[in-house]
Amino acid sequence: MTVKWEGVMPAVTTKFTDDDTLDLVNFKKNIDAQLAAGVHGIILGGTLGEASTLTKQEKETLVIETLKIVDGKVPVIINIAEQSTKEAIAVAKSAEAVGANGLMLLPPMRYKASDYETVVYFKEIAKNTSLPIMIYNNPVDYKIEVTLDMFEELLTLDNIQAVKESTRDITNITRLKNKFGERLKILCGVDTLALESIAAGANGWVAGLVDAYPEETVAIYKLVKAGNIDDALPIYRWFMPLLELDISPQLVQNIKLAEVATGIGTENVRAPRLPLQGEERRRVLAIIDQAMKTRPVLPDYKNL
For residue 133, the surrounding DSSP H or E stretch is: strand 133-137
The CA R_g of the chain, rounded to the nearest whole Å, is 18
Q: Write the single-letter amino acid at 36.
A: A
How many beta carbons lie within 10 A of that of residue 116, not counting itself? 10
Cβ atoms within 10 Å of 259's Cβ, excluding its own:
24
Domain coordinates in residue numbering, the chain: 7-303
Q: What is the pLDDT of residue 1?
A: 87
Collect all residues with Cβ–Cβ distance below 8 Å to 38 and sequence separation of at least 6: 8, 214, 215, 218, 222, 301, 302
pLDDT tens-digit profile, the chain (304 residues): 899 999 999 999 999 999 999 999 999 999 999 999 999 999 999 999 999 999 999 999 999 999 999 999 999 999 999 989 999 999 999 999 999 999 999 998 878 899 999 999 999 999 999 999 999 999 998 899 999 999 999 999 999 999 999 999 999 999 999 999 999 999 999 999 999 999 999 999 999 999 999 999 999 999 999 999 999 999 999 999 999 999 999 999 999 999 999 999 999 999 999 999 999 999 999 999 999 999 999 999 999 9
What kind and span of H or E run contains 211? none
Give, as one character, the DSSP assignment of residue 13. P
Residue 111's pLDDT is 83
Superfamily, domain 7-303: Aldolase class I (3.20.20.70)
- Check: CB of residue 294 under 8 Å from CB of residue 261: no
Q: 228, 30 in Cβ contact below 8 A?
A: no
**Residue 127: Cβ-neighbour burial (10 angstroms; 0-12, 13-18, 19+):** exposed
CB 23 within 8 A of CB 221: no
What pLDDT score does 202 carry? 98
Q: What is the pLDDT of residue 141?
A: 86
Peptide bond into 241 cis (omega under 30): no
Best CA proximity match to 148, nearest among 171, 182, 193, 180: 180
Which helix (H) or strand (E) segment holds residue 60: the answer is helix 56-70
Classify 151 as helix, strand or coil: helix
Q: Which residues pair with 79 in a beta bridge?
A: 104
Letter for the amino acid at 234? P
